Chain A
Amino acid sequence: MSDIIVHEEKCSGCNTCELWCSYAFQGSFNPLLAYIHNDFVPGQGFKITFTGDCNSCGICVEHCVYGALSLE
């Protein structure tokens, strides 16, 4: 299993990664149910974090059109 590398400067905060994650693992859409999250920090932009349940499956990487995520 590869690690997910984040390129936060490219993140748009669109939550598509969260929606794919929740859809893949919970069977339904809701960013709150995802294992990946982003949060806007003034002056810095978007910060991406993963919960302990993330298994680096890479579905978020696959669907990030902004190039903010990649696999090692």
Chain B
Amino acid sequence: MKDFFGYAGTILEVNLSDGKIQKTPLEDALAGKFIGGIGISTKLLYDRIKPGADPLSEDNVLVMGSSPLNGTFAPTAARAEITAKSPLSGLIGWANTGNSVANMLKYAGYDQLVLTGAADTPVYLKIDDDSVEICDAAHLWGKDAWETTDVLWNELGKDYRVTCIGPAGENLVRFACPVSQKHSAAARTGMGAVMGSKKLKALAVRGAKGITVSDKKRFIALFDEAMNRFKAREKLVGAWRTYGFLAGFLQAVDPDEFLRLKGGYYACQSCPVACNAWVNIPDGKYAGLSYLASAPGTKIMVDLMLGRIIGPYDEIFKSLELVNRYGLDFFSAISGVSLAVSLYENNIVTKEDTDGLSLARDAETFNELSRKMAYREGFGDILAEGVHGAAVKIGRGAEEYDVSIRGVDAAVGKGGILGATETFGFVTNHRAGMMERSTSISFRKRDRESYVKYCGAVGVPEEAVGRVCDGPEGLNVPRLTRYAEDMLTLVAMQGLCRRAPVTQVYDLALHADFYSAATGIDMTGQDLLSGAERVWNLQKCFNIREGATRADDRFPKTMLPMKLGGGTLDQDTMDSWLNEYYDERGWDVVTGRPTVKKLQAMGLEDEAAELERSGWIR
């Protein structure tokens, strides 16, 4: 077998219906074209999932993908995505996570783990290097994510990394998520429900093999270069290390209270920033509560943006513990509770609907509704459908409170709207919900020169810079969004982190250098970006095949018009922005879809032919 560098060299496929376990050598063509992480995962999903497949059936496929850099000391190379057809949107879904089992999968020798079919009874997958075993999980089913992890650690040892679902995943809550190592949630778009539908309680992975890179000397030099860049951003890194996601919002929050409840900083593997924290509540009713928390600041921010659904920070951290135990996506859970409380405040739902509960903006309501969601009990059974599904089920005008895009809650609701490309990206992101493929560059007002500099770092072609950095605010939002999406797709394909201090360090050249030194495959930044564009287009193809149209690329009525930057974003502006966005992507502006020619030019000939045959594209 061929020697691989960076890549582990094998795709592991497990069919949970018939128990067949298959190890396939990674093909050069697949790696070369789709690079890694979500790139390869997207291709595997596209080829294996039949259009129209029920996301909560054995026909769905779940892929955990890693990149050539994952598991090395390339700074922040710990991120990975879990991907499947989303039970929340019925379209492509993915969720990014920090300290998951992905790096350990690499150490065990696998780049991608592909899970197909569904077991009849609860199982967990145990991977110990070459040994891959589907194990009985009867003793784990019904346990929460923390209990499950503890049982597996007791049985197998703490060398095993554990990713598992809680009751929410078992009960097919549409926004259930897998939780790794008790705290790192692959939160969004319901990947935990997909695991639940496959009766797959957990993945427990131990890998004792090592990852080698092609050019060791160069790889070390690149590490030094990256670390020097982090050091040059000492102030920014320091702010993130201290306050995490609250760093940019210190005026709006209570930073001292946050620090009082923080035991210390905590980093994902190989990260020099440490924007995570370990919670350590010193006093009050939760005195002694202590656990690792991924990005706890985001929970405080979202709570604030939704109008303080939970409120006090110690209550937020208690709620986060519960949500992690249930295996619920915190963002969708709080969006659901926000919906429920709003409907209650406006007499659209009453105690008759809520199983006799009075709903208020407090932790008691949040925790009780979260529990009901996780177990699909009473009113929670409706909320477990997600904000869109719940609003439709409730009816009676509840639809007016639906803050979802393609079925996925926007998470910030309509109370708090982020900066420009971040906001627009909610709509163009194939998985919808939150801005994770839109850059934070326009989060605050900047001059045109800053945008020109950004264009250089992310490889915007020179001929496009003029129109991307156009307009009174120095940027054209939809056109810039197109390039930001490709760059951040590349970040995900490399298994790196998308937080601001990291994306500032990794310009396109450093991405290419790291990739080439790790794998021994020479790629330029533009090669990698072309790969990212290919992946973005393939994700679009997935959604087109599922019937998504231009009409789905929209904010719900309740969110428009919204104040944005210096002006107001209304539907007319959105329509014209979408035209510009599609144009910048080289897509058909009328349908909002890639053309046959465009797909062919990107090497997606088979996909182009299939979609053209079905009449989806022209």
Q: List the interface of chain A (C-beta within 8 A of B).
A: 9, 12-16, 19-20, 22-23, 26-33, 39-40, 42-43, 45-46, 63, 65-66
Contact = CB atoms under 8 A, between A and B. Distances in A.
B594 to A, nearest CB: 38
List the 7 shortest-distance A-B pairs measured between CB atoms, nearest first: A28-B210, A14-B267, A12-B267, A42-B290, A19-B73, A12-B274, A43-B290
Contacts of B207: 30, 32
Given A15-B269, A42-B291, A32 B159 contact: yes
Nearest to A9: B264
A29 B73 contact: yes
Contact of A30 (B107, B231, B291): B107
Contact of A45 (B71, B230, B264, B269): B264
B488 interface: no
Contacts of A45: 263-264, 278
B288 interface: yes
Contacts of A26: 210
B349 interface: no
B211 interface: yes
B72 interface: yes
Interface string B309-341: 000000000000000000000000000000000
Given A32-B107, A42-B291, A19 B72 contact: yes
Give chain B's interface residue range (CB within 8 Å of chain A): 20 to 34
Prevailing SS type, chain A contact patch? mixed
B267 A20 contact: no
Nearest to A22: B210
Given A23-B73, A43-B290, A28 B212 contact: yes
B392 interface: no
A13 B207 CA distance: 19
Nearest to B73: A19
A14 B278 contact: no
A13 B280 CA distance: 16
22 contacts: A12-B266, A12-B271, A13-B267, A13-B292, A14-B267, A14-B274, A16-B272, A23-B73, A27-B210, A27-B212, A28-B209, A29-B72, A29-B73, A30-B210, A30-B211, A31-B269, A40-B292, A45-B278, A63-B73, A65-B227, A65-B230, A65-B272
B268 interface: yes
Contacts of B210: 22, 26-30, 33
Nearest to A33: B210
Contact of A32 (B208, B267, B268, B274): B208
Interface string B286-305: 00101110000000000000
B92 to A, nearest CB: 31
A28 B288 contact: no
Nearest to B209: A30
B446 interface: no
B577 interface: no
Instruction: Point out which of B159, B209, B227, B278 has the most chain A C-beta atoms below 10 A from its C-beta.
Output: B278
Nearest to B220: A23
A30 B71 contact: yes
Contact of A29 (B71, B208, B231, B267): B71
A45 B270 CA distance: 18
Interface string B581-615: 00000000000000000000000000000000000
A70 to B, nearest CB: 17
A40 to B, nearest CB: 6
B270 A19 contact: yes
B371 to A, nearest CB: 23
A14 B271 contact: yes
Given A27-B210, A33-B208, A39 B158 contact: yes
Contacts of A12: 264-267, 271, 274
Interface string B193-226: 0000000000000111111100000000000000
A40 B159 CA distance: 13
B208 A14 contact: no
